[in-house]
Amino acid sequence: MSRLSTTHDLGRDTGAELSRPSSVPMPRGADPHRVTEEQVDRARLAVARSAADAEDCRTLLDMLGLIDSEDGLPPVRR
Protein backbone atom coordinates (compact mmCIF):
# COMPACT_ATOMS: atom_id res chain seq x y z
CA MET A 1 0.00 0.00 0.00
CA SER A 2 1.44 3.39 -0.90
CA ARG A 3 1.77 6.27 1.51
CA LEU A 4 -0.75 8.38 -0.42
CA SER A 5 -3.47 5.74 -0.20
CA THR A 6 -2.82 5.32 3.55
CA THR A 7 -3.23 9.04 4.11
CA HIS A 8 -6.38 9.07 2.02
CA ASP A 9 -7.82 6.11 3.95
CA LEU A 10 -6.98 7.78 7.26
CA GLY A 11 -8.76 10.94 6.18
CA ARG A 12 -11.82 8.99 5.12
CA ASP A 13 -11.89 6.88 8.31
CA THR A 14 -11.60 9.85 10.67
CA GLY A 15 -13.90 12.13 8.71
CA ALA A 16 -11.10 14.66 8.16
CA GLU A 17 -11.21 16.71 5.00
CA LEU A 18 -7.68 16.59 3.68
CA SER A 19 -8.32 18.47 0.45
CA ARG A 20 -9.78 21.67 1.98
CA PRO A 21 -7.24 23.90 3.73
CA SER A 22 -10.03 26.24 4.88
CA SER A 23 -11.54 23.69 7.27
CA VAL A 24 -10.15 25.61 10.28
CA PRO A 25 -12.89 27.82 11.73
CA MET A 26 -12.29 31.57 11.71
CA PRO A 27 -13.72 34.04 14.22
CA ARG A 28 -16.90 35.64 12.93
CA GLY A 29 -17.27 39.40 12.80
CA ALA A 30 -13.89 40.12 14.40
CA ASP A 31 -10.45 40.87 13.07
CA PRO A 32 -8.53 37.58 13.48
CA HIS A 33 -5.31 39.51 14.11
CA ARG A 34 -6.74 41.64 16.91
CA VAL A 35 -5.65 40.73 20.44
CA THR A 36 -8.57 40.47 22.84
CA GLU A 37 -8.62 41.62 26.45
CA GLU A 38 -8.94 38.00 27.56
CA GLN A 39 -5.82 37.04 25.58
CA VAL A 40 -3.87 39.86 27.24
CA ASP A 41 -5.01 38.71 30.69
CA ARG A 42 -4.05 35.11 29.96
CA ALA A 43 -0.64 36.19 28.62
CA ARG A 44 -0.03 38.26 31.76
CA LEU A 45 -0.84 35.27 33.96
CA ALA A 46 1.45 32.99 31.95
CA VAL A 47 4.31 35.49 32.26
CA ALA A 48 3.69 35.92 36.00
CA ARG A 49 3.76 32.16 36.56
CA SER A 50 7.08 31.85 34.73
CA ALA A 51 8.83 34.88 36.21
CA ALA A 52 11.58 34.44 38.80
CA ASP A 53 10.48 37.46 40.85
CA ALA A 54 8.47 40.70 40.61
CA GLU A 55 11.19 42.61 38.74
CA ASP A 56 11.59 39.79 36.23
CA CYS A 57 7.81 39.74 35.74
CA ARG A 58 7.65 43.48 35.12
CA THR A 59 10.57 43.34 32.68
CA LEU A 60 9.00 40.50 30.71
CA LEU A 61 5.57 42.15 30.63
CA ASP A 62 7.13 45.39 29.41
CA MET A 63 9.16 43.60 26.71
CA LEU A 64 6.02 41.85 25.45
CA GLY A 65 3.93 45.03 25.43
CA LEU A 66 1.56 43.78 28.11
CA ILE A 67 1.79 46.71 30.55
CA ASP A 68 -0.85 49.43 30.23
CA SER A 69 0.44 52.78 28.96
CA GLU A 70 -0.85 56.27 29.71
CA ASP A 71 -3.97 55.74 27.58
CA GLY A 72 -4.93 52.62 29.58
CA LEU A 73 -4.23 50.16 26.77
CA PRO A 74 -1.20 47.90 26.54
CA PRO A 75 0.81 48.35 23.31
CA VAL A 76 -0.17 44.87 22.16
CA ARG A 77 -3.84 45.96 21.94
CA ARG A 78 -3.26 49.03 19.71
Per the prediction, the chain carries an average pLDDT of: 77
Q: Is residue 27 part of a domain?
A: no
Say what the pLDDT of residue 35 is.
85
Q: Which residues lie closer than 8 Å to 11 by C-beta, 6 or more apart? A: 17, 18
Whole-prediction pTM value?
0.57
Range of the domain at 66: 36-78
CB-based burial of residue 74 (10 Å sphere; 0-12 exposed, 13-18 middle, 19+ buried)?
buried
Contact assessment for residue 66 and residue 76, using Cβ atoms and an 8 Å cutoff: yes
Condensed to tens digits (0 to 9), the pLDDT of residues 36-74 reads 899 999 999 999 999 999 999 999 999 999 999 888 888
Count how many domains the chain has.
1
Say what the pLDDT of residue 26 is.
60
* C-alpha distances out from residue 8 to 4, 18, 21, 24, 26, Å: 6, 8, 15, 19, 25
Q: Is residue 53 part of a domain?
A: yes
